[in-house]
Structure 1
Amino acid sequence: MEANRNILVLLEEELLINAAIAAVLVARSQRRGRMKKRKRRFWTRPWLMRRSLHGQYEALMSEMAMEDHTGFRNFQRIDPELFQEMLVRVSPRIRKQDTRMRRALDPGLRLAITLRYLATGDSYKSLEYGFRVANNSISKLVPEIGAPDDGGVFQDCTLRDALEKGKLGLPEPAPLPNDDQPVPYSIVADDAFQMRSWLMKPYPHRQMTRQQRIFNYRLSRARRVVENAFGILAHRFRCTLGTFEQDPKTVESIVLACCVLHNLLRSRYPTVANDLMDGEDPDTHEVIPGRWRKQEALTALEYLKGNNTTKAAKGQRDYLCSYYNNPVGSISWQNNMI
């Protein structure tokens, strides 16, 4: 009997061992099955490889360059001829070398993607689908070619520091026309900024006198020139309308690129932008809004907290107010505009 019990124990242990081995083999088999079913990871997505057939640069832009210059200009903000001229100039700087792993992007494609980003402000992911270039590549090429409110940024920028310390190189104070009192040169601003002797802003709108309303009108009339400059820039390069997601150095390059292209277009096609600008009726002097005002506008500035306006700044504003309401500094229609 004892011998039989020992045999049964051995058989039970052997069964347990065999069951454990079987479980391990089944687990290994299932793991191999999952690995076979797992999709192969591509170095690049297959549809990106068909860029030469369906990419916006290779297909769409080529068609528009031959058939529709207006469409090309709307897409890239410049004519095909100017695009080619720019490409010749920047190609040596933006051309990359091929590697054993992949071919470098064509300089024309790199320029086209950058111009399209400046024109629309589309995300890199969105540009990826149109141009069939991986968004991580676009995030690198745009800076190569190419948050606090604005008032707060101005508070901390080097321009303000230079103005405060008198190191910007502004001309010396000079008398206004038909006057003998030297007045400092100043930046024309709105309520988002804190007033200084070198930065003039309107009077608060509550309980203004007639003279103060005239000053505000004259200041607004001068500021309209600045509004047109920024408005037309944003109308052309819509990346400036939203919030930049890049680091500050990249944003600086993007904005400078927009300014350079804006000035280039203005010098090459001086009459094209005329209908974008505000006009003024020669008889009534009413403002005729430019076409840029009918589009999406720049985000309004947020007001700075606190009131650090200096006595000198208030005194200068009051002096200008008096000048604009005096016969030597007034304009004939200003009383009709308030």
Structure 2
Amino acid sequence: MYVDEEIEQLALFIIILGGAFLLLPPVTRRRWWTKPWISKRNNKGNLVLVHDELANEDPKHFRNFLRMDKDTFEYLLKLIQPAIEKENTIMRECISARDRLTVTLRYLATGESYKSLMFSFRIGHSTISKFVPEVCTAIYNGLKAEYLKTPVTPAEWLSIAEEFQVKWNLPNVLGAIDGKHIMLQAPRSEGSTYFNYKGTHSIVLLALVDANYKFRYIDVGCNGRVSDGGVFARSTLSHSIKTNKLNFPAEQPLPGRTKPLPFVIVADAAFPLSYNILKPFPFRNMSEHQRIFNYRLSRARRVVENAFGILANRFRILLNTINLKPDKVETITLTCLALHNLLITKNISNYGIYNDNDIDRRYILRYGLSQQIGNRSTKDSLNNRLEFMEYVNGVGAVAWQNSLL
């Protein structure tokens, strides 16, 4: 009696279990470990084109494809190879460090999507999405100590000031500062945190640039809602200037003048006028001398705008809206900055940087923001600006500056 009941219960359980299996979705079996057309990347595709053909037969297009010549590529590969190299397994062959670096550089150069790169290089887009941030981190970590150094001695700052005086006709200048918005696809959970005045979502790149378009100080990651002046106020650069941790040179007179003046950083109207920050006069009711000073100041300051333009056109990922998390966008931006300085240092003649000796003399500062509200300049800062104005209209005048008015 009891045996029959147990058999009936077991049969009922089997029927129920079988019905449950029927309700489960069918299991999709992968036909291949790797798609056949992807497994042919060592014989076909852009990886073969770049390293077997362009590198040996057409160096110009190799440089255009990866934004650097073969020697610089090999230098970079040797530097970061230990950090990005993987080992083969019994299951499959790994993607080499050379191929990882190639795909990453092409991604930075074009801003193509991962799926687009998949068809170009025969590497799965999910694989690309994993190793691109890893390679970017390795590039930044490998280059930052040598190529993203901020000067910390008076001699280093004086060298920059001499270049500004020779190339841009303005003495006592240690650099030009400005901010640039790096557009991103903000996470939904962040709301309007990254929403900026341009109507897009972004993080802010604050940069100090020398006379040769090299980035000397960078601050990346502040949300786009904050103004350039606000980013600067919160930055380590502002704190270091106030506490003299950067060891700026001692005051000295402008050439042909007698009043000692501090060494300054040139900026636009969004920044506060202070002891070491020089900004233009307000744009209303300017005198002729003030207009000339504003032009001469903007001529020196535009090196930072030029540097941003060169950076973004060389690494066009920065021209697009980057569909990644903010921390990864920050890593990509830092990588592009490090590569920019590397290329200037290694091979400036092929990087598209020239000293135009003021070819564009029509560039006069007739636009810009109104005087920054809430920044009360000290009397000494105002007097220092007047001294610079007297210099550019007197001893430091250039022959063509009056023709701009």
TM bin (shorter chain)? 0.7 to 0.9
Q: 1:280 aligns with which of 358, 362, 371?
A: 358
- Structure 2 gap ranges (5+): 1-11, 141-202, 204-222
1:158 aligns with 2:236: yes
1:139 maps to 133
Partner SS, residue 187 of structure 1: strand
**Aligned partners of 2:372 and 2:290: how far apart in 1?**
23
1:83 maps to 73
- Contact 2:272-2:372 within 8 A present in 1 as well: no
1:230 aligns with 2:308: yes
**Aligned partners of 1:45 and 1:170: how far apart in 2?**
58
**Aligned partners of 1:54 and 1:307: how far apart in 2?**
61
1:15 maps to none
Summarize the alignment of residues 49-198 of structure 1 with structure 2, pairs less than 5 Å apart.
49-99=39-89, 102-131=92-121, 132-133=123-124, 134=127, 135-146=129-140, 147=203, 148-149=223-224, 151=228, 152-198=230-276
1:209 aligns with 2:287: yes
* TM superposition shift of 1:23: 8.6
1:294 maps to none
2:327 maps to 247
Distance 1:335 1:25, change over 3 A: closer
1:331 maps to 398
- Contact 1:233-1:258 within 8 A present in 2 as well: no
* TM superposition shift of 1:226: 3.3
Distance 1:304 1:317, change over 3 A: closer
The size of the alignment, in residue pairs, is 298
Distance 1:309 1:54, change over 3 A: farther
**Aligned partners of 1:66 and 1:112: how far apart in 2?**
16
TM-score scaled by length of structure 1: 0.73
Deviations 1:87-120 (A, max 9, x none): 3444344322334555432111122123223323
Q: 2:390 aligns with which of 322, 325, 328?
A: 322
**Which structure shows the higher strand fraction?**
2
* TM superposition shift of 1:206: 1.8
Q: Output the amino acid matched with 2:331.
A: T
1:258 maps to 339
Deviations 1:188-228 (A, max 9, x none): 11123222221111122222111110110110121233333
- Contact 2:282-2:370 within 8 A present in 1 as well: no
* TM superposition shift of 1:179: 0.6
* TM superposition shift of 1:316: 1.9
Structure index of larger Rg: 1
Q: Output the amino acid matched with 1:310.
A: S
**Aligned partners of 2:110 and 2:267: how far apart in 1?**
28
**Aligned partners of 1:303 and 1:262: how far apart in 2?**
37
Partner SS, residue 134 of structure 2: helix
Q: Output the amino acid matched with 1:247.
A: D
RMSD: 3.6
**Which structure shows the higher helix fraction?**
1
- Structure 1 gap ranges (5+): 1-19, 289-300
**Aligned partners of 2:369 and 2:46: how far apart in 1?**
39
- Contact 1:202-1:215 within 8 A present in 2 as well: yes
Distance 1:40 1:82, change over 3 A: same
